[in-house]
Every structure is written in structure tokens, then in C-alpha cells.
Structure 1
Amino acid sequence: MIQPNVTVTPAAEKFIKRMVRFSEHPSGGFRLSVSPGGCSGYNSEFTVVPAAQQGDSELLVNGVKVFLPAESRLMLDGVTVDFADTPTQSGLTFFNPNAAACGCSTSGDSAAAPAQATVSVASIARRPPVTSSH
């Protein structure tokens, strides 16, 4: 099975590790599904699962398992996965230096910037802290 040439930044690696460590499956892995769509070219979803699903490829990121379905492997080849936590966005971002940017708000005279997409983490439920009653 061909592994994609994916770069994971330290910020994305930290996020992925935390998602796995604090999940119901701390010995499992981070399953990242990327599909075509959206203005920037990517629709993405992630889950923490106990094991790879049939057809998934396993990518080790400093000891953390990242499971990639076949279509995601193709789309992520050459892409840098980062994590942004700013007042305007929070989530994984994907930077593809080989893709053209969205033409939604660019003029015909400007140079196209590489495509970028974001996956929001706002919908992730946080577990309440464990408290002891003495």
C-alpha cells in the first residue's frame, strides 16, 4: 500500500496526540477522512477509533497512529496538516502547495495562493472533570 507524502506540523501532532490520549480509545488511532468539496477543495472529518478500518492505511506520527482511508491518502499526498487556534478559527488546516486557491473572491490579475481548508473542533464534546467527594 502506497503511503502518502504528508507533513504533520508540531501543532497538528500535539492536537492529534491529545485527541487520542483523552478519548475512549487511548490505545487506538486518529482516523482522518478527507474528501473533495468546499470552496478550498477539502471536506474533512476525524474520529478516534480503536483500530484501522478495512482499507485504511496506518501512518505513524511520532508513535501516534493516524488511519487514512484510500481516498484520503490520495488527497493528502504532498499536503501539510497543521492546527490553528485563533480567535477566528480552531481546527486542523490543510495546505496544498500544488493546488490553486478558491476563485470566490480573487481578481483575475492576482496570483493564486495555495489552497487551504479548515476542520472545526468546536463540535467536540468535552468531558466534565472528575471530582472526588470527601
Structure 2
Amino acid sequence: MLPNITITPAAEKFMRRFVRFSGQPAGAGFRLTVSAGGCSGYNSEFTVEAAPLPGDAALDVNGLTLLLPAESRLLLDGVTIDCVDTTTKSGLSFFNPAAAACACSSSEGASSTPPGLAKISISSIRPAAPKPLLS
């Protein structure tokens, strides 16, 4: 079952750039792995893959292939994925209107981030490990 995900134009542009500059062949997809974590938010990792990995579902987003593992599909149902690009923050953000409000406090203040919003910094992105050459 494919989740009901809203991807903003800014998030789509962000994903397309990663695919375009990845060095992968045409038709490669943006693979987004999400796990529950943080205060009412998500931990996530993304890579560009030439083909879906076992268990991935491919979601077409205006010609962009979004690859989602099973757990990510469950967690992202009903979520809006956006891209934040300001002078202080840059990366994907997730808004889940069904998430409960956070009961803990943070250094930024309890009301600075809407419930269910998690931000991923561009600085956390690392290049994929080189693949071994076949002999």
C-alpha cells in the first residue's frame, strides 16, 4: 500500500537536485528512509539508488521516483514533506498533523516547532561509501 504523502514543490526540487547530481544513471530514484525518533518527529536518511532495493515501493512524483521502504511508508502516511532553505536552516522537513504535541522542553522553546515537524540539516548528508570494483 502506498502512503498518502504530500510533497511540496520545494521538497520535490530538493530531491530532483540530489538525483540529478548523484552520478547515477537516468531513471535513478530518491530513496527516503524514515524512522520514529526525536520529539514527535522523525529520523531520516536518504540516498540516490539506480533501482529499488528489496522491499522498496516506488512512488512517482511528477516523473521523480521516490523509493520508500516499508517502515517509511507506514510512518509517512498523511505527512507533508517540505524543504526549508533559509540562512540558518536547510533541508527536508516533515509535518505530521496527527502527531501529539511534545511534552518536553528544548533549548529552542516548546512552541518554536509545530508538533510533528522535524528538520534534517544539509550538513548531515554524507556521500555514499564507494562501491568495490568487480574484478
Can you give the 5+ residue segments of structure 1 that lack an aligned partner in the other structure?
Answer: 127-134
Contact 1:95 1:116 in 2 (8 A): yes
CA distance in 1 between counterparts of 2:118 and 2:25 reads: 27
CA contact (8 A) 2:32 2:47 kept: yes
Give the Cα separation in 1 of the matches to 2:126 and 2:115: 32
Separation in 1 of the partners of 2:40 and 2:83?
16
TM-score, normalization: structure 1?
0.82
Q: Tell whether the 8 Å contact from 1:20 to 1:26 is kept in structure 2 after alignment.
A: no
CA RMSD of aligned residues (A): 2.1
Following the alignment from structure 1 to structure 2, what is the Cα–Cα distance between the partners of residues 37 and 124? 18
Does residue 93 (structure 1) correspond to residue 96 (structure 2)? The answer is no
Partner of 2:19: 20
Aligned residue pairs, count: 121
1:114 and 2:115 matched: yes
Distance (whole Å) between structure 1 residues aligned to residue 123 and residue 100 of structure 2: 27
Structure whose CA Rg is larger: 1
Whether the 8 Å contact between 1:100 and 1:113 is mirrored in structure 2 is: no
- SS of 1:33's equivalent? strand
User: What is residue 132 of structure 2 aligned with on the other side?
Assistant: none
Percent sequence identity is 63
Q: CA deviation at 1:88?
A: 2.5
Distance 1:21 1:119, change over 3 A: same
Cα distance per residue 1:90-131 (max 9 Å; x no partner): 10000000101322228xxx9x943101111124469xxxxx
Structure 1 runs of 4+ off > 2 angstroms?
123-126
The alignment partner of 1:97 has SS state of coil
TM-score between both structures, scaled by the size of structure 2: 0.82
Which residue pairs with 2:55 in the alignment?
55
CA distance in 1 between counterparts of 2:25 and 2:101 reads 36
For residue 48 of structure 1, give the secondary structure of its aligned residue in structure 2.
Answer: strand
**Alignment partners' CA distance in 1, 2:62 and 2:78:** 19
**2-structure distance, mates of 1:59, 1:118:** 22
